[in-house]
Structure 1
Amino acid sequence: MHQGHLNEDFARKSAELEKKLREYRSAAQKYHALFQQFPFGITISDENGGILETNVVAEELLGILKEEHESKSINPEDWNIIRPDGSPMPLEEWAAVVALRENRVVSKVMGVVGQDGAAAWFNVAAAPLHLKGYGVVITYHNITDKIQTEQALKDSEKRFQMFFENAPLGYQSLDENGCFIQVNQTWLQILGYAREEVIGRPFSDFLHPDWKEHFKENFPRFKAIGEILGVEFYMRKKDGAFILVSFNGKIGKDAKGDFKQTHCILQDITEQKRTQDALEKRLLALTRPMENPEDVQLQDLFSIKDLQNFQDQFSAAMQVASVITTPAGEPVTTPSNFTRLCSDLIRSTEIGRANCYKSDAILGAHHQNGPFVRPCLSGGLWDAGASITVGGKHLANWLIGQVRDETQTEEGIRAYARTIGADEEECAKAFWETPSMKVEAFQRIADLLYTFANTLSDMAFQNLQQARFIGERKQAEEAIKRHQSLHSKLVANIGDVIVIIDQEGVNRYKSANIEKHFGWKPEDVVGKSTWDNVHPEDIEEAKEFFLNLAREPDKTGVLECRYRRKDGAFRWIEFTGVSLFHDPDINGILGNYHDITERKEAEKSLRESEARFKALHNASFGGIAIHDKGVILDCNKGLSDISGYSAEELIGMDGLLLIAEQSRDLVMGNILAGYEKPYEAMGVRKNGEEFPIRLEARNIPYQGKQVRVVEFRDITESKAAEAEREKLQSQLLQAQKMESVGRLAGGVAHDFNNMLSVIIGHAEMAMDEMDPANPIFADLSEIFSAAQRSADITRQLLAFARKQTIAPKVLDLNHTVEGMLKMLRRLIGEDIDLVWAPHNNLWAVNMDPTQIDQILANLCVNARDAIDGVGKIVIETSKVSITDSPDKDSEARPGDYVVLAISDDGKGMDFQTQEKLFEPFFSTKDVDKGTGLGLAMVYGIVKQNKGFITVQSEVGQGATFKIHLPKHTAPVARAPKKSAEAPAAKGHEMILVVEDEPAILNMARLMLEQLGYKILAANSPSQAIQLAKDPPGEIRLVITDVIMPNMNGRELEERLRMMHPNIKTLFMSGYTANVIAQHGVLDKEIRFLKKPFTKKILAARVREALDGSD
């Protein structure tokens, strides 16, 4: 009977064991499948770096067989590892070595150089394995393409920078205030400045004075519109000269869609403009009617420089004098090859010069049958001429001559010299100096001139026709645009949730952290269809994605869709998967979910923002009026909306009636001057209301005549917005200034309190060992007091910065204030009456009582200092409920508040003082009478406790500060009565002290040893862990600094509790940085010792920690 039971029991246990073995083998197979088919390489090593196991992906990534891989170790002899910069990576920097040494997860980019010398790049992650015989597990995936892409991007950026600096066009970038951020080398060369003379300066500094105001008015418009094309400015070069430049540009925006900077290219078009103006002048001259000769000049059609050059060459070749004159005979070019007889003698006399001009006019007249050759009316030498005529208009005479033949005689010249009053002898000598030529030869030269003059006239007419054709077909020059391509970086990751999905879409595996991200436990979804939790709108796309992925083994893909959480909410995920249906252990798609909801929401917000902007831009318009001599001929509906008049009333109205009286002179002056730039004035509506407007006018052809079109734009809202923007900018600057001091306070508090701890501690221990009668005792006492005052200043800074470490309690504010009254009366003196007016049935508040003490002390001292002689200070409490929406300028928010008010009848404050009241270091007291931190500290305390503060004051009328603290619903905790100071508590327990500052560590050790404790001292968390592994006795308490390198105090406590579950912890710090406190508020279970501390405080906190219960 008994043997039968044993057999049954043995059979049952054997069956259970067999079942567990099957489950173990199944789990092992699944683990092995996951390990081998995981899309990343995996290597597992022992404690000495020997490689124990690798997966198939590692074999593919590293290009070595699995057996060869597992025969290697983690050492430089087996691997050639390099840093991202290409230099060798020493062993101590390898991810696996660091992870094993520092007992933490390490991630690094590492290059592996193969036997062919080529480097493959990997993102390597190593984590320590806390299992016997194991060292680290290493995962890595190939990022060689990413590294090469990044290098190519750097090379591209380098090439771009070279092109950017040496581009044929100038580039400039301005910030929101119109100041230079960047310019390229071409810009500097165009204007002649050095880069340091430009960056940071306003753009308007480089403009012509007449253009500065225009830029200031239109820069905001550019920022709003987002683009400018062909805008022209006159800019000042470094040498003082002005050049005309053309701008094309766009604005750049930040990730939120807000203005960031401008991007503009500029081109020096000074010469181009001059050429264009000359061409337009010529075209205008040639295309307008030419009834009056003075309307068209030769230089409008030809380059005088070119004509002069040809004239000089013609005269030299033909040995004749030559000049081009107006039809009246006045020279246009400089005479070429003129003889002394003509230029120096005959033309030097009034009669001779007049006769020359008369002769030139006759010779240059247009003759259809050939050139006119005849003796000159002034001297008788042979001359000839031809006209330059374009489009039937006689523009100039081209004259040659001053040659003689046998028909001219010396006697004739002498006689003419006497007639005109010239020197007869000199004229006779000069006559024989003139070239001699037979008249037949001169006639041939005249014929050649005639032919050339006619050809020149025909060419000018043809050029005119061509210019007209070009003018009709002329197109605006395309603006040069600069676009810098942005390259996105692909960051491979294994996602948040690992999944396996089979051919039917059924979940076969979900990692445990699916509950963290989506609320489902694995057993809730494993065995069920994936499509059950995919958003209905995404199911078809998701199914198609899975089908495509399943068709090809090892194919990878990425899908974005919405996935349902357990609570019903949908989250956007990015699914990255690999097809492993050919693997019998996986038989499905292995992938991961990555939550991208925030990114999707940001993209949606951006799209909505852009849509709102486009809608607002497209819907915006102003009023438009067309008027002739002030009378409105036509208008749009916008003008009716702005003015309040109907379109029927506006047409025929004097446009000045839409302008306020104060602006009519300005507008009228701009109309008369033809001013065409935008400017601001005051308009007036039909109902008499005056409002700001922006006007811009242009002259246009309308119904056969020139009229003026005017755009009226109501800028009431933009003016208000501008005022509001200036106000918000002021508030932002103030907030930034306050935040800067706050960051400074938090930053220095930790180190400064460490130094004060050493000073206070050693001063106190020295005084404990010294006779008070010793002269040095007084010096030590002064050091001790000064250090404590310094600690108070640090505490005030932290309070202002809202980084003071506090321990809130539920308080009855009346009870707390009453406990301070006696001390406050001593503080303000006998001449000032302190009145206490508590409110009955006051709500509770949740606050550190020491902060109430700080607020009362600071406000009462300030009230005392504001009273000259005898006065009164009133402290009162009340409660208030705020239900209405708060004013936008107020910090108040709806809710129930307990109010603590402190009033005085002192000298009060003006508005300017109240504006700066809570700024740190602002004080109206003498330099040696205060730090300027008191009210800043009060403000910081109130904000840290989610309250707000108001101030009411006028000069001579005193001041009232009202502190509003949120109501708390929990019951009030009465503070225990303070007992008389007791001697420092002692003990004998073993304490582990951890502090990275050697001076504080040594001081704390000395203090505790003097109190009788056994001390283990560690200067780092890693040393503390080593000491805790094998202590010489039971460690009852660990005292640890909060802020330390590599591991903070909270993390150290968790590690120590794994080894010593009953160990107690006392944290110490001068600044907790949210490690054990959230926004400065201590967690309830935290024991905390604030630096700097005295020996007595240390003794008390240690005793409380040891005797307290967890």
Structure 2
Amino acid sequence: MHQGHLNEDFARRSAELEKRLGEYRSAAQKYQALFHQFPYGITISDENGEILETNVVAEELLGILKDEHESRSINPEDWNIIRPDGSPMPLEEWAAVVALRENRVVSKVMGVVGKDGGVAWFNVAAAPLHLKGYGVVITYHNISDKIQTEKALTDSEKRFQMLFENAPLGYQSLDENGCFIQVNQTWLQILGYAREEVIGRPFSDFLHPDWKEHFKENFPRFKAIGEILGVEFYMRKKDGAFILVSFNGKIGKDAKGDFKQTHCILQDITEQKRTQDALEKRLLALTRPMEDPEDVHLQDLFSIKDLQKFQDEFSAAMNVASLITTPAGEPITAPSNFTRLCSELIRSTEIGRANCHKSDSILGAHHQNGPAVRPCLSGGLWDAGASIIVGGKHLANWLIGQVRDKTQTEESIRAYARTIGADEEECAKAFWETPSMNVEEFQRIADLLYTFANTLSDMAFQNLQQARFIAERKQAEEAIKRHQSLHSKLVANIGDVIVIIDQEGVSRYKSANIEKHFGWKPEDVLGKSTWDNVHPEDIEGAKKFFADLAREPDKTGVLECRYRRKDGAFRWIEFTGVSLFHDPDINGILGNYHDITERKEAEKSLRESEARFKALHNASFGGIAIHDKGVILDCNQGLSQISGHTVEELIGMDGLLLIAEQSRDLVMGNILAGYEKPYEAMGVRKNGEEFPLRLEARNIPYQGKQVRVVEFRDITESKAAEAEREKLQSQLLQAQKMESVGRLAGGVAHDFNNMLSVIMGHAEMAMDEMDPANPVFADLSEIFSAAQRSADITRQLLAFARKQTIAPKVLDLNHTVEGMLKMLRRLIGEDIDLVWAPHNNLWAVNMDPTQIDQILANLCVNARDAIDGVGKIVIETSKVSITDSPDQNSEARPGDYVVLAVSDDGKGMDFQTQENLFEPFFSTKDVDKGTGLGLAMVYGIVKQNKGFITVQSEVGQGAAFKIHLPKHTAPAALAPKKSAEAPAAKGHEMILVVEDEPAILNMARLMLEKLGYKILAANSPSQAIQLAKDPPGEIRLVITDVIMPNMNGRELEERLRMMHPNIKTLFMSGYTANVIAQHGVLDEEIRFLKKPFTKKILAARVREALDGSD
């Protein structure tokens, strides 16, 4: 036994040991996983600094393999460590050494120089390990990127300071009193002062005496407006000389938005002014024999196609956006290399576009000593501009930019996007798509731009001089006619290839520049037929031209044809020739070849462009017309389709003939006023049909004059759609109004009918116990009648709102109406004839017969009240099938309907009355003659039964109401005949009455006990369940309210049937909601007693329930 216990104990201890070993192994595995997957490098050393363990991240960060790592110690010979300033870090400063020495956690920034000489920067944290055999644990967090970013920021700040001080423009900042806060080195160099001679002194101290007052008057305006552009002052240099300086500036504000200081750049324009004055004098000298130079534009001096190509190539090579504009900012060339950030995002907003235009205008100011370089006011991108000046006249600006400064941050463009309302995320994406440069790189490109602009200015000036040369050439041509020498004639025409062709078409002379233009040397073509190099398709016309020219001395002519180059390609030339066969020096036709290939290509492009425009013009979705003072000059096919006139008929027509008479004054007034916003008018087609139009017009230049282009858009369909929308909106408002009344009715019906039940019940019971001769009997009768009238009003409200509880039956409408005729005749009186006109073979309808009674009673009473004295009311039935929804009644739906119509020959109704006919509480009767709910109730009943109602009436012509009720396919039941009133039925069964209103519960108990029944009364569903668990006898019937707290009548019935399967149920309520009726329609198996009720009605319903079968 003892040995057995030992064995068990050994096994238990072995199991525990194995379990602990497993836990240790699991912990070790977790430690190893954490150690090697930790995002920082980790090394563990002993007390002497010998490295014991290294994780994978440390190997990667330090670039040393694990085996090499763990053979190292804390030894300067094994590691090359440097401080943040780049100097060697001595061993005693190393984090691990400090941690071991001072027994505390140490964190340092240390640089580790690798084998390749590269430096990796780490945030090194060393902590002592208080474990035997261990010394310190070290973590390495690579912060190289952070160090480089900080270094780049520091370098950037230094560069900015250098750029600020040495910028090509001077800078100054003034405080609110106009005293200097700061200036840059360029400012000091321009004016010759030392910085300490300037800071703190008033700006006016450095102005010409004549300009000081001007500054004092305008400085407050500058602070108020916030910006100045191109303001000029004469300033005094330190040496006493005065220079003209141009200022551009803005104000800076503090965090509260108040003025803080000014920021202005300035430029010495003294020399520029002198040069400009000299150039203006030079231009004046060129005005004869040229035209007025004020009419000279850049487009007159250069081919725009060449300029565009030059600009495109410059933009592509320099990676900048580029555009040439007029001094007013209107584009001359198309934009080149524009960035998405500017063209699609910034300029798409109103604020961004305004800032861009403002920047462009600043760049457009001429700068004599170099390009204008500045950050754009819209987005802060680098922009530059250079002016093209010809003879002192500012012809154009060449602008470049949309370049991101390398130091600019994404947040700056995000902030700007928020300021101008642009898409912030898209702006951020586009920001990084934008080319980037530092200021020096961009400045070099701007300088190159300035050189090119000056070159264009010189070339333009030379072209102006060419105007004088052309005049001299014309004089030379005249000299040819006066028989000057061949040499003089050739010099006059040296700009093109000069030729002499004899009577046979043989070339007798070709100027040497033919090789430059066509590749032929003169000797290649001399003595040979000119027709050899003319395009085959042009030879016949060329020969005819020469023959006609040769017939008359001194006759001149111009021919366009294709001439072959030596390489086989054909070029279009314009040959201008003069017949000089009578001149012995010429003896032929003298002329020149002028290459017009580019012009021909441009003309072809223009024709194609015009064809495309014509196609787009005709493809427009609306009609377009160009008119001059109303006369149509041109139009598209769309206008023809709209108006019914052909295009040929429209051109030359008075455009007002397309406008209906009632709109012509409006249209003519808008034409005279130059109105350019869309507006509506009535048009008229060729067939006389009038239709609604939407017109929009603009003034445009056309064939050398200002005309008006108009878009005609037929809005017939949109007008119809708008009318339909208004119609549907009206129906929606009516439905919402009905819903509101329904909620009101449903909200009050339950409590109101409960109170009326108590009033009517007690009044009735009191009258049963009283002799009718008793004077109080009449008072009780009035109380009973008033309660009945109140109940009728509640019922009418519920009927209008389609909330009343009904029990539909399949009816023959003819039989149902016939059962009411006797009562209706009594209702309308003897002076009015009631005519009944039933339709044979009428379809059945599914409807509560009491609702038919309500409809006929209300319509007949209204008809009676509309007849003064003697008259006639007609009740008729019919059937109709509707296939489409009639336009005049959108409530109608396709289907088969039984029609119940009531018409009279009374006074009829006007349109306003008919519009409000079915509104609840609307009435044309005296206040004491009606509630205004009758027709509203009829409308509600008809809608509850999925029908619709139409009304036809005119003042003095009577009225006709037609009720359309859906056809029912089941056979109809005959309306039950109303029997003479019988006494209240009695009984002896046990009845459980459940009602949460104590007054009704007590009244019902008294009524039923007087009828002989045994009553169990419960004031809540929970009490009813308790009574039903142990009743004093068999409960044959439960009478329960429908709407009660915590549990409704339907739920109570289900609970009671679980205890008494054979129990029968009679529900009672003034408003059932949807507990026992869906949308007010009772289920067929439901027995229902509507509140308020009389004792006789209660007795009858109880007896029906007890005697009926489930």
Q: Aligning the two structures, in what range does the TM-score lie when normalised by the shorter sequence? A: 0.3 to 0.5
Deviation at 1:975, TM superposition (A): 4.1
Question: What are structure 2's unaligned runs of at least 5 residues?
Answer: none
In the superposition, relative to structure 1, how do residues 1061 and 764 fare at CA in structure 2: closer, same or farther (>3 Å)?
A: same
Aligned-partner Cα distance in 2 for 1:1034–1:379:
92
Aligned-partner Cα distance in 2 for 1:1101–1:802:
24
Deviation at 1:786, TM superposition (A): 0.7
Deviates more, 1:629-638 or 1:276-285: 276-285
Aligned-partner Cα distance in 2 for 1:832–1:385:
98
SS in 2 for 1:490: helix
Q: Kindly provide the CA deviation profile for residues 34-92 of structure 1, in whole angstroms up to 9, marking residues without a partner as x.
A: 99999999999999999999999999999999999999999999999999999999999
* Contact 1:808 1:847 survives alignment (8 Å): yes
Deviates more, 1:818-827 or 1:686-695: 686-695
Aligned-partner Cα distance in 1 for 2:512–2:1060:
29
Tell whether 2:774 aligns with 1:786: no
Deviates more, 1:19-28 or 1:880-889: 19-28
* Contact 1:252 1:263 survives alignment (8 Å): yes
* Contact 1:229 1:479 survives alignment (8 Å): no
In the superposition, relative to structure 1, how do residues 263 and 75 fare at CA in structure 2: closer, same or farther (>3 Å)?
A: farther
Deviation at 1:1031, TM superposition (A): 3.0
State the partner residue of 2:170.
Answer: 170
Deviation at 1:8, TM superposition (A): 51
Q: Kindly provide the CA deviation profile for residues 495-546 of structure 1, in whole angstroms up to 9, marking residues without a partner as x.
A: 9999999999999999999999999999999999999999999999999999
Deviates more, 1:109-118 or 1:915-924: 109-118
Aligned-partner Cα distance in 2 for 1:586–1:96:
105
Residues 594-605 of structure 1: pairs in structure 2 closer than 5 A: none
Deviates more, 1:799-808 or 1:292-301: 292-301
* Contact 1:495 1:593 survives alignment (8 Å): no
Deviation at 1:1038, TM superposition (A): 1.3
Residues 945-1024 of structure 1: pairs in structure 2 closer than 5 A: 945-1024=945-1024
Aligned-partner Cα distance in 2 for 1:895–1:443:
83
Aligned-partner Cα distance in 2 for 1:32–1:1063:
77
* Contact 1:283 1:468 survives alignment (8 Å): no
* Contact 2:560 2:575 survives alignment (8 Å): yes
Aligned-partner Cα distance in 2 for 1:543–1:2:
142
Deviation at 1:623, TM superposition (A): 2.2
Deviation at 1:9, TM superposition (A): 54
State the partner residue of 1:407.
Answer: 407
Q: Kindly provide the CA deviation profile for residues 407-450 of structure 1, in whole angstroms up to 9, marking residues without a partner as x.
A: 99999999999999999999999999999999999999999999
In the superposition, relative to structure 1, how do residues 920 and 599 fare at CA in structure 2: closer, same or farther (>3 Å)?
A: farther
In the superposition, relative to structure 1, how do residues 286 and 297 fare at CA in structure 2: closer, same or farther (>3 Å)?
A: farther
In the superposition, relative to structure 1, how do residues 65 and 649 fare at CA in structure 2: closer, same or farther (>3 Å)?
A: same
In the superposition, relative to structure 1, how do residues 751 and 35 fare at CA in structure 2: closer, same or farther (>3 Å)?
A: farther
Deviation at 1:1015, TM superposition (A): 2.6
Deviation at 1:463, TM superposition (A): 27
SS in 2 for 1:1017: strand
Q: Kindly provide the CA deviation profile for residues 212-266 of structure 1, in whole angstroms up to 9, marking residues without a partner as x.
A: 9999999999999999999999999999999999999999999999999999999
* Contact 2:949 2:964 survives alignment (8 Å): yes
Deviation at 1:572, TM superposition (A): 70
Deviation at 1:1075, TM superposition (A): 1.6
Aligned-partner Cα distance in 2 for 1:1067–1:850:
19
In the superposition, relative to structure 1, how do residues 490 and 992 fare at CA in structure 2: closer, same or farther (>3 Å)?
A: farther
* Contact 1:750 1:1070 survives alignment (8 Å): yes
* Contact 1:361 1:397 survives alignment (8 Å): no
Residues 332-481 of structure 1: pairs in structure 2 closer than 5 A: none
Deviates more, 1:554-563 or 1:682-691: 554-563
Deviates more, 1:523-532 or 1:669-678: 523-532
* Contact 2:279 2:391 survives alignment (8 Å): no
Deviation at 1:1074, TM superposition (A): 2.1
Q: Kindly provide the CA deviation profile for residues 562-603 of structure 1, in whole angstroms up to 9, marking residues without a partner as x.
A: 999999999999999999999999999999999999999999
Q: Kindly provide the CA deviation profile for residues 1069-1107 of structure 1, in whole angstroms up to 9, marking residues without a partner as x.
A: 111112211222211111100000112221221122122
Deviation at 1:857, TM superposition (A): 1.7
In the superposition, relative to structure 1, how do residues 657 and 479 fare at CA in structure 2: closer, same or farther (>3 Å)?
A: farther
* Contact 1:257 1:606 survives alignment (8 Å): no
Q: Kindly provide the CA deviation profile for residues 369-409 of structure 1, in whole angstroms up to 9, marking residues without a partner as x.
A: 99999999999999999999999799999999999999999
SS in 1 for 2:578: strand
Aligned-partner Cα distance in 2 for 1:872–1:1057:
56
Deviation at 1:929, TM superposition (A): 1.0
Deviation at 1:175, TM superposition (A): 48
Deviates more, 1:389-398 or 1:481-490: 481-490
Aligned-partner Cα distance in 2 for 1:507–1:35:
97
* Contact 2:283 2:391 survives alignment (8 Å): no
Aligned-partner Cα distance in 1 for 2:519–2:1105:
39
Deviates more, 1:125-134 or 1:942-951: 125-134
Aligned-partner Cα distance in 1 for 2:547–2:32:
26
In the superposition, relative to structure 1, how do residues 595 and 845 fare at CA in structure 2: closer, same or farther (>3 Å)?
A: farther
* Contact 1:549 1:579 survives alignment (8 Å): yes
Q: Kindly provide the CA deviation profile for residues 445-479 of structure 1, in whole angstroms up to 9, marking residues without a partner as x.
A: 99999999999999999999999999999999999
In the superposition, relative to structure 1, how do residues 423 and 277 fare at CA in structure 2: closer, same or farther (>3 Å)?
A: same
Aligned-partner Cα distance in 2 for 1:585–1:1026:
142
Deviation at 1:720, TM superposition (A): 3.4
In the superposition, relative to structure 1, how do residues 159 and 352 fare at CA in structure 2: closer, same or farther (>3 Å)?
A: closer
State the partner residue of 1:496.
Answer: 496
In the superposition, relative to structure 1, how do residues 74 and 785 fare at CA in structure 2: closer, same or farther (>3 Å)?
A: farther
The higher radius of gyration belongs to 2
* Contact 1:249 1:481 survives alignment (8 Å): no
Deviation at 1:1013, TM superposition (A): 2.7
Between the two proteins, the alignment pairs up a number of residues equal to 1110
* Contact 2:620 2:638 survives alignment (8 Å): no
Question: What are structure 1's unaligned runs of at least 5 residues?
Answer: none
In the superposition, relative to structure 1, how do residues 273 and 122 fare at CA in structure 2: closer, same or farther (>3 Å)?
A: same
Deviates more, 1:785-794 or 1:33-42: 33-42
SS in 1 for 2:1047: coil
State the partner residue of 1:200.
Answer: 200
Aligned-partner Cα distance in 2 for 1:33–1:505:
99
Q: Kindly provide the CA deviation profile for residues 1042-1063 of structure 1, in whole angstroms up to 9, marking residues without a partner as x.
A: 1223322112211221222111
Aligned-partner Cα distance in 1 for 2:206–2:72:
68
* Contact 2:44 2:54 survives alignment (8 Å): yes
In the superposition, relative to structure 1, how do residues 9 and 100 fare at CA in structure 2: closer, same or farther (>3 Å)?
A: same
In the superposition, relative to structure 1, how do residues 355 and 1100 fare at CA in structure 2: closer, same or farther (>3 Å)?
A: closer
* Contact 1:285 1:295 survives alignment (8 Å): no
* Contact 1:800 1:936 survives alignment (8 Å): yes
* Contact 1:1021 1:1047 survives alignment (8 Å): yes
In the superposition, relative to structure 1, how do residues 724 and 1006 fare at CA in structure 2: closer, same or farther (>3 Å)?
A: same
State the partner residue of 1:507.
Answer: 507
Deviates more, 1:673-682 or 1:726-735: 726-735
Q: Kindly provide the CA deviation profile for residues 115-157 of structure 1, in whole angstroms up to 9, marking residues without a partner as x.
A: 9999999999999999999999999999999999999999999
Aligned-partner Cα distance in 1 for 2:957–2:450:
103
Aligned-partner Cα distance in 1 for 2:864–2:344:
103
Aligned-partner Cα distance in 2 for 1:125–1:552:
107
* Contact 1:388 1:398 survives alignment (8 Å): yes
Deviation at 1:1002, TM superposition (A): 2.4
Deviation at 1:790, TM superposition (A): 0.6
State the partner residue of 1:1029.
Answer: 1029
Aligned-partner Cα distance in 2 for 1:629–1:324:
36
State the partner residue of 1:106.
Answer: 106
Q: Kindly provide the CA deviation profile for residues 1004-1030 of structure 1, in whole angstroms up to 9, marking residues without a partner as x.
A: 223223333333333332332333333
Deviation at 1:776, TM superposition (A): 3.1
Normalising by the residue count of structure 2, what TM-score does the alignment of the two structures yield?
0.46
Aligned-partner Cα distance in 1 for 2:34–2:892:
57
Q: Kindly provide the CA deviation profile for residues 152-185 of structure 1, in whole angstroms up to 9, marking residues without a partner as x.
A: 9999999999999999999999999999999999
In the superposition, relative to structure 1, how do residues 68 and 594 fare at CA in structure 2: closer, same or farther (>3 Å)?
A: farther
* Contact 2:819 2:975 survives alignment (8 Å): no
In the superposition, relative to structure 1, how do residues 81 and 489 fare at CA in structure 2: closer, same or farther (>3 Å)?
A: farther
* Contact 1:282 1:300 survives alignment (8 Å): no
Aligned-partner Cα distance in 2 for 1:249–1:766:
100
Q: Kindly provide the CA deviation profile for residues 687-719 of structure 1, in whole angstroms up to 9, marking residues without a partner as x.
A: 444433222222334566544332222223333
Aligned-partner Cα distance in 1 for 2:95–2:995:
28
In the superposition, relative to structure 1, how do residues 997 and 964 fare at CA in structure 2: closer, same or farther (>3 Å)?
A: same
Deviation at 1:206, TM superposition (A): 50
* Contact 1:1041 1:1049 survives alignment (8 Å): yes
Aligned-partner Cα distance in 2 for 1:841–1:571:
96
Aligned-partner Cα distance in 1 for 2:958–2:466:
87
Aligned-partner Cα distance in 2 for 1:508–1:645:
62
Deviates more, 1:75-84 or 1:648-657: 75-84
